[in-house]
Structure 1
Amino acid sequence: MGTSNHQTYYQTKNEKNVEKLRSLLKEFPRFSKDFFRGIEPTSSINTRIGYAYDLRTFFRFLITNNPTLADKKIADISLSVLNALEPVDIEEYLEYLKVYTYDGRQYSNDERGIHRKLASLRKFYLYYQKRDLITNNPTVVVDMPKLHDREIIRLDAEEVNELLDLVENAGNSLTGRKKSFYEKNKLRNIAIFTLFLGTGIRVSECVGLDMEDIDFRENRIRIMRKGGKEEYVYFGDEVCKALTNYIEISRANIKPLPGHEHALFYSIQRRRISVQAIENLVQEYASQITTFKHITPHKLRSTYGTSLYRETGDIYLVAEVLGHNDVNTTRKHYAALDDDKKRSAATAVTLRK
């Protein structure tokens, strides 16, 4: 990504994540480090951090609920403790996950959070079971929680028009510092929203874009997909115009802070814009268009995927453009969309003739 003579966003982020994982593992039992070393060749650093957070929650549960571990630390947990657990202990853990308090803070998990944490625990147990370090695996006896399909939230065509109009014209109703702030970021914001709605890229992919990743000759951007796969995503004239206006008029007048010179999108502090900043930006504008739907950058991605599927009817194209590894994921989300037929059902039955 980018040029070879500077450290990319992804390289910097990866280094920070490696340090984050090492920091997390400092409080873990010594034996658990073998698990993370063992899965490294087949998992991303983000996946391993996810496992670490899930397993830390499990270890905390053991410390607070297992009498044999009273006054002990997570690092004191041994494999013999894991080997002695029974299915009922795992079921108690799943119940605990719904709502629990740790260190004065309350946490909760929905069915997907509980499902993921049990999946993480199963993988953890299986690692030691396959190596004959434990003989008992209570996690495989406990059923995985049932996951209910979630309705895809996305903007309809009229809402997309309203959103883009708002981003372009919101300054008309503003005064003073708010208007000045809006005008300063207007072209950047138009480019970001148009890019999401015109390509369906992920927010992390948007944040990671460098100037060197934009190819106006071929109308494409180079992005880093999940798992570190590099791909090109093509864009149309609307995206091209929005990016060109931002780069030539707005970005050209920004003097970035050291280390952020290559970034495509900047925050007001002249740093590479963050995922959180873009999420806040989308929330700010989308909430003025619809209060019924909670719109995030991922929902804008769903909006693009829905539009592309409706226009082409090609589920494989949608999967490829969105970067889905499994077309079944795409089919599950988009092929079932048939709002027009659902809408027609409202007038299909006449109650009084």
Structure 2
Amino acid sequence: MGKPLSYHEQETLENTKRLRQMMKELPPFCADFFRGIEPRTSSRTRIAYAYDLKTFFEFLKKQNPLFADYKMQDFSLTVLDEIQLMDLEEYMEFLKCYSTDKKEDLINTERGIMRKMSSLKSFYNYFYRRERIKNNPAALVELPRLHEKEIIRLEVDEVAKLLDQVDEGDHLTEKQREFHVKTRLRDLALMTLLLGTGIRVSECVGLNLDDIDFGTGGLKIHRKGGKEVIIYFGSEVEFALKDYIDERKHVTPEPGHESALFLSLQRKRMNVRSVENLVKKYARIVTPLKKITPHKLRSTYGTSLYRETGDIYLVADVLGHSDVNTTKKHYAALEDERRRSARNKVQLRDN
């Protein structure tokens, strides 16, 4: 037997299988597009493209009389040349609210529409640049204007209350308390890690026991795109992890999950959905008016780090943003706060 696949290799393998299944539901020429973008996109991104393209071709079948009798396999590349700008503007209108065979009344926000139209633009660009189609109406589509979302994060006192709640569990329901007895140290280690390092939830669930080095306070994680980096954690994270790992040693994991750091009650590696539910369960008690997700815990960490250091480049590096402008956009309000605080720092004349 060869070396077992890592969490991220396993995830890529499963996504690749899933994408192959989805491609059977799309026109045959779409396979060229997915082969072409494979070297520069993640398997998760390609799956998102596949869903978006399926929505587009189903729209053509339902809404455009020219294609009413078409099956998915009937669409050929020449169809892209027949479509005009007005057709794509109608598609953008359609995306606001539509139904599929499986779901009714699907509603897209501005960001949802933007993503689906961006997928279509990439699709058209691929074939246009290779001179396989003559027209590129997608390049002419004006995307919806995005309104900046308010950044939701926890305040300092809310972070403390949240960790207290995870530790004590005194406001959980009776049923939740039964589970809390078994998962307290795991939940506390997981939440402390997310709040104390700002790692993504996918990076968190992918952690193995041998990714932690308590000697250096380092943690090896797999960033988006598969890059391995080491980030560092403080004493609070260290104590919480050590307590959990001591307990973890007495658990016999299911085959194939022996190396996973965080285990479910079924003794298998925790997945992204279960961590999302865990965060929601505790956060709902502490901040019922804020919709807190693992990503909001990441924003909370970024805010705290920026307030402490004032170094936007450090925050970008620790959070794994490839472009510092992404970080600046998220912490614009804090940047303004810092600029205003600078107004009286420089004294021109003695009073």
TM-score (ref. length: structure 2): 0.92
Larger deviation: 122-131 or 231-240? 122-131
Aligned to 2:142: 143
For residues 307-326 of structure 1, give each alpha carbon's deviation from its aligned partner in whole angstroms, at most 9, with x where no partner exists. 00000000000000000000
> Which residues of structure 2 form unaligned runs of 5+?
342-351
Out of 234, 244, 247, which is 2:245 matched to?
Answer: 247
Question: Distance between the aligned counterparts of 2:171 and 2:127, measured in 1?
Answer: 62
Aligned to 1:110: 109
Aligned to 2:151: 152
For these two proteins, the number of residue pairs brought into alignment is 339
SS of the equivalent of 1:253 reads coil
Question: Distance between the aligned counterparts of 2:223 and 2:62, measured in 1?
Answer: 39
Question: Distance between the aligned counterparts of 2:40 and 2:65, measured in 1?
Answer: 36
Mapping for residues 215-226 of structure 1, pairs under 5 Å: 215-226=213-224
SS of the equivalent of 2:259 reads coil
- Measured after TM superposition, the shift of residue 105 of structure 1 is 2.5
- Measured after TM superposition, the shift of residue 30 of structure 1 is 1.3
- Measured after TM superposition, the shift of residue 340 of structure 1 is 6.8
Check if 1:316 corresponds to 2:325. no
Aligned to 2:125: 126
Aligned to 1:330: 327
Question: Distance between the aligned counterparts of 2:321 and 2:293, measured in 1?
Answer: 19
- Measured after TM superposition, the shift of residue 179 of structure 1 is 3.3
For residues 263-294 of structure 1, give each alpha carbon's deviation from its aligned partner in whole angstroms, at most 9, with x where no partner exists. 00011111101111110000000000112110
Q: What is the one-letter code of the residue matched to 2:310?
A: G
Aligned to 2:79: 81
Q: What is the one-letter code of the residue matched to 1:298?
A: H
Question: Distance between the aligned counterparts of 1:42 and 1:127, measured in 2?
Answer: 13
> Which residues of structure 1 form unaligned runs of 5+?
345-353
- Measured after TM superposition, the shift of residue 98 of structure 1 is 0.4
Question: Distance between the aligned counterparts of 1:204 and 1:24, measured in 2?
Answer: 23
Aligned to 2:274: 277
Instruction: Give the RMSD, CA atoms, in angstroms.
Output: 2.0
SS of the equivalent of 2:105 reads strand
Check if 1:67 corresponds to 2:82. no
> Is this contact kept in 2: 1:54–1:117, CA < 8 A?
yes
Aligned to 1:201: 199
Question: Distance between the aligned counterparts of 2:112 and 2:262, measured in 1?
Answer: 32
For residues 49-69 of structure 1, give each alpha carbon's deviation from its aligned partner in whole angstroms, at most 9, with x where no partner exists. 111111111111111112122
Sequence identity, in percent? 55
- Measured after TM superposition, the shift of residue 173 of structure 1 is 5.9
> Is this contact kept in 2: 1:315–1:335, CA < 8 A?
no
Q: What is the one-letter code of the residue matched to 2:260?
A: A
Out of 183, 188, 209, which is 1:185 matched to?
Answer: 183
> Is this contact kept in 1: 2:81–2:133, CA < 8 A?
yes
Check if 1:296 corresponds to 2:293. yes
